Amino acid sequence: MNSIELEKRFFELVPSHPPNAWEIEEYMEQLGPLPDPQQKIILDQVPVIWPVSHALCYSYLSCAGSALACLHPNQLSQWVAATLDIYERDGLHEAQMFMANVESNFLCRIRGEAGILLSDVAPRLTPYAHSIAERKIAFATGHHMYTDTETIFLPHEITLFQEEEDNFLLYKLMVTFQLGLLRCNTYDFSLPLDQLRHNGIEKTYGKKLHLETILLEDFFSLFPEPRLGEDLFTLVEGMRVNAYLAANFPGIWRDTARLRTALAKFRPSLNRLTGKARIIEVLYRYAMTGKPISDGGFKRSIFDLALAALADSWSTPEESATRAMAIYALLEEIGGLYDPVESLPYLGRLHPAEAMNVRLKRREETKENFIKALAAILLPENQPAGQEDSSDKAGIPAPKISGDEGVALMISQQKDKEDVRNKTEPNGPIQFLTVGGLDIEIPEPLRMLGDQILDDLGHIPNEYIAAAQGMAGRAAPTTQAASTPTGESLVAPLTYDEWDFRRAGFRKDWCILRQRRILPVKGTFVANTLEKYRGLLMQLKKQFEMLRCQERFVKGQRDGDDIDLDAVIESISDTRAGRAASERLFVKLLRDERNIAVLFLVDMSSSTEGWVSQALKEALILMGEALEVLGDRYARRNTPGWARPSDMLRA
């Protein structure tokens, strides 16, 4: 199609709100030279974009031709969908940048040769991330690279460099940098208002502030140009992480020096940038390469002042904020509005709101688990006295705790170790739980939960402890009343007590069991579960392996397969010494066999639908898998009754 035909086709595609012919003329001319099939594919997406944004549609028309040189035609619609997502979330500019990226960043000619997929690198970077973050970190594909503190979002594929190794290294740099943000507590940002006052931002920008402290998501909006504030903070904070990585992970910093310099070459050309954007870009490049740029026609004096503000080292995100504010003030001199430049490829943009959400979610979960764990040790029958892990004061009888006695609880800080070399955080790990003036050593899982809460909130709220006390008090009578069904004859229907997690006790004869036969079904659930818990499974197998019955020789037997030479010699010596000699002179091959049977009943009814049943099923699969190692006989009897299948396991 020539440009006239293209125009005609365009108008057919957008019956409502058609543009003026001269508005699209330029774009149709760009499409003109493309082969017909490509033109068609490109125009097919117009009805998708046009109603959303005309401006975006124009950008699309100018980028699409070159994008098709990189993208497979089938991927075009995905790419457009992704662009629209970004448009709706981050606005026109971001969406335009995203489109331009296909062209500038994803070097099409090497696609498929040296490119490396996230799914290829994830297996080895997952444990790597875990080891640095000290907790599980997931990877997921995303249009932007960032972390919400639990997941790191990364590009689906990296094809930027010619060598596969370099592309991998870029993934590793991205991951390490995002972990650096976590290690450097970027998202723990909380700026006291006093400090802001001190910096005069309130006066300068006339914002009325009501909060005592400013969190990161609110910080950017303090600036007249929030995006400039954000970019400056991100840049300064990025420099801090740079310094952290260079000091603590010098290996990767050295390995990627070449890469970072190369990445600087993919940046938008300085000549295309003006005003504030130009300085920001120069600073970005400085952050990437560590080398200041000497030419480029930007305001030298401002750049030098900005560099001076970043010269020494600093250690908190709040200090980064102070410095960002200082540079922001410097940039005011330039005037004009800031036209955002692309962020650093391994730093990306910060997503404080998402990080906060994740944090709140985690806080809620930790709270729940903590209350449950604490309630468990406060239960009357769990009180220390004979307990194995009670402290050295086990001799003193512990007071009985119950809800209505209202015993005061207090978690005290670590107090018995005076090791100064161990530089712990101001709070120190909690080690003791004081119940009625008595120290009880806290079991490991509870201690870890407590530490997490301390890390997060700085203290353990009283309401947590009160809730646990309440739960323990409430649960006490039920637990005592519970009894195990013994001596029941095997006539149908069988009844069992059922555990009720809400009251942390058993419900008497609550569940009725009937057996039925089910037909096998196919699915990926088993395979997925095995893949998902690979690490755990390995550990389980190891544990089960240790339980494996072995064949072994035992010495010193009364009868057996062979003579125990050591024993014979010893018996001769004993005889010579005039002592009664042992009669245990044989070696025997012993084969142990386990002689117990275990039956697990698992409730798969609707009351456990959702994550509970998911977790149950996963646990069963893992258990079955681990049991394989044992070599014992076992059977799973998924025999769903009207609501409750059972799972039978025989060892």
* Residue 488 DSSP class: -
Q: Of 280, 270, 469, whose CA–CA distance to 378 is shortest?
A: 469
Q: CB nearer to another protein: give 258 or 542.
A: 542
Residue 399: asked if its preceding bond is cis (omega within 30°), the reply is no
Nearer of residues 400 and 415 to another protein, judged by Cβ: 415
Is-contact 46 14, C-beta < 8 A?
yes
E-only strand ranges, 462-560? 494-500, 505-513, 551-557
Quote the CA–CA distance of 363 and 357 in Å, as a whole number.
Answer: 10
In angstroms, what is the minimal distance from the CB of 573 to another protein?
4
CB of 367 to another protein, least distance (A): 22
Q: In angstroms, how far is the first alpha carbon of the chain from the final one?
A: 75
Residue 612 CB, shortest distance to another protein, in Å, is 21
3-state secondary structure at position 590: strand
Please say which residue, 279 or 567, places its beta carbon nearer to another protein. 567
Task: Give the C-alpha separation, 237 to 322, whole Å.
Answer: 11
Quote the least distance from Cβ 419 to another protein, whole Å. 5
Residue among 88 and 574 whose Cβ is closer to another protein = 574
Token digits for 422?
A: 């161990």
Report the residue number, 125 or 494, with the smaller CB distance to another protein: 125
Closest CA to 643 of 610, 603, 615: 603
Cα distance between residue 595 and residue 626, in whole Å: 19
Work out how close the CB of 422 gets to another protein at its nearest, in angstroms, rounded to a whole number.
4
Contact between 415 and 506 under an 8 Å Cβ cutoff? The reply is no
- DSSP single-letter state for residue 413: E
φ/ψ region of 232 (left if φ > 0, alpha if ψ in -120 to 50, else beta) reads alpha
List the structure tokens of 14.
């957008």
Write down the least CB distance from residue 625 to another protein, Å. 14
Helix (H, G, I), strand (E, B) or coil at 505: strand
Residue placing its CB nearer to another protein in the complex, 26 or 165: 165
- Residues at the interface with another protein (CB under 8 A): 123-128, 130-132, 134, 136, 172, 176, 248-252, 255, 416-419, 421-423, 534-536, 538-539, 542-543, 546-547, 555-556, 566, 570, 572-574, 576-579
Return the number of the residue (126 or 369) whose C-beta is nearest another protein. Answer: 126
Paired tokens of 252: 């990767």
- 138-141 vs 151-154, strand pairing mode: parallel
Task: Report the nearest approach of another protein to the CB of residue 616 (Å).
Answer: 20
**Closest distance of CB 384 from another protein, Å:** 15
Shortest Å distance, C-beta 600 to another protein: 18
Q: Where are the alpha helices (DSSP H) in 547-610?
A: 565-576
Q: How is residue 580 written in tokens?
A: 């009664």
Token couple for 571:
């018996």
In the complex with another protein, the residue whose CB is nearer, 238 or 340, is 238
Provide the minimum distance between the beta carbon of 602 and another protein in the complex, in angstroms, as a whole number.
23
DSSP 292: -
Nearer to another protein, 315 or 543 (CB): 543
Q: Which CB, 456 or 570, lies closer to another protein?
A: 570
